[in-house]
Amino acid sequence: MDRNVTQMMYMEVRKEWNRICDEARPRMAPKCKACKECDSARPKCGFVSSDRGRSGIRNYEKIQQIKLACDTIYEGGNGDEIDSSSDFFGYKMRAPIFNAPIAWVGNVLPNTHFKKPGVENVDGKAIDSDDYAFSKALIDGCADVGTIGWVADSKHHPLVHFYEDGLRAIKERGGLGVPTIKSWDDEKLPNKIRMADEAGAIAIATDIDCVGLGYMSINGKYDILPGLSNPKSARQLKEIFSITEKPYILKGIMTPQGAVKACEAGAAGIVVSNHAGNNLDQSLATIEVLADIKKAVGNDIKIYIDGGFRHGEDVFKALALGADGVLVGRPFMIAAEGGEAYGVSIYMQKLIWELQNAMRMTGCLSLKDITRDKIYITKEF
């Protein structure tokens, strides 16, 4: 890390974040404008690639309908740092915030600086993007400020080793990272689980909702390669989980029924996610379904959530509705592109301080104090 990010003042972190966005902007083009606030709104956002992108926009908008209940008259506040720490399968995080997994950077950012030298773009894609450097920025940037990064998997291409690159970054960081394996067939998925085991990953995930990914389409056709993106039955999931001793998290749960099935199959956690709205237009926002999912599974399984969360105050809202933690997607791409691991640490530190300030302003000395009565839903969902 260039500087000790955890020692910086909030204003300095904010200034650095703006500078990192400016740095990243030309390299995020043309898909992403590196907006100060990533709201998924079309037409400026080229990342939400399902037909009309309304699920991604709804994620952001519904979070904005929730407000915090300010109350600074309470016992026990002595001005020390508020305790936002949280347990993730035996590891104590400074705050329950993660980057969300993002696949194969060269596929989505033709102008990325994460390129291996000397090879040109192919079909508008930096086909040989330096996915190891990208994954390392995420994993190290999160770990440097006391949280945990997630890395992704991608379709197979002879020049792309995205999954292996992510695992290498995790292994080098002593296992502090969550690899997110696509829902491959019965041969590829177990192999990838074993690889994650060997890398010592703290937990393993599968984006079970990758079945309908719009951003995998090429020329209007789904580019689904043999073996990729299979729905799984609860029976199959049980078998998959039995391959490893590691906690297994299913990403892409959007209903209480889905959460109950994940629980019964033996998942250790779920991520309430609609893949940034990329897999299905007209789905509900993730924050809208969170409370019902919590009601259905209680404390039987860890509940994480992503989709449209941009600030620590947004993280607070999810915790108040029953989440155990929040993943943030696209802004961490900007962070890595604009400042590598340092950029990732800066954005994560900003989120942590915003969460801690929200706690201080609502009388929450630790995460368990963040309850439903600490927020208002201003319009019924």
Ligand X SMILES: Cc1cc2nc3c(=O)[nH]c(=O)nc-3n(C[C@H](O)[C@H](O)[C@H](O)COP(=O)(O)O)c2cc1C
- State the residues that interact with ligand X by CB under 6 A: 47, 59, 100-103, 108, 152, 180, 207, 251, 273, 275-276, 278, 306-309, 328-330
Q: Report the C-alpha gap between 169 and 164 in whole angstroms.
A: 9
Q: Among residues 232 and 330, whose Cβ is nearest to ligand X?
A: 330
Backbone φ and ψ for 59, nearest 5 degrees, come out as -50, -50
C-beta closer to ligand X: residue 152 or 319: 152
**Between 82 and 350, whose beta carbon lies closer to ligand X?**
350
- Helix 256-265 × helix 234-241 angle, to 10°: 40
* Bridge partners, 92 (sequence order): 87
Least distance from ligand X to the Cβ atom of residue 208, Å? 9
Q: Which among 236, 327, 328, 253 is positioned nearest to 297, based on CA atoms?
A: 253
Q: Least separation, in Å, of the C-beta of 88 and ligand X?
A: 17
- Whether the CB-CB separation of 152 and 180 falls below 8 Å is answered with yes
Q: Closer to ligand X at the Cβ: 100 or 359?
A: 100
* Burial environment of residue 351 by CB neighbours within 10 A (0 to 12, 13 to 18, 19 or more): buried
Which residue's C-beta sits nearest to ligand X? 329
- Least spacing, CB of residue 265 vs ligand X, in Å: 18
Residue (40 or 349) nearer to ligand X, CB = 40
Specify the DSSP element, H or E, that contains 332: helix 330-362
Q: How many Cβ atoms from other residues are within 10 Å of residue 124's Cβ?
A: 10
Considering the complex, what minimum distance in angstroms separates the CB of residue 169 from ligand X?
A: 15
- Residue 174: phi, psi to the nearest 5? 65, 25
Q: Which is nearer to ligand X, 77 or 214 (CB)?
A: 214
User: Using CA atoms, how far apart are residues 241 and 267, in angstroms rounded to an integer?
Assistant: 7
Residue whose C-alpha is closest to residue 248's, from 212, 291, 210, 201? 201
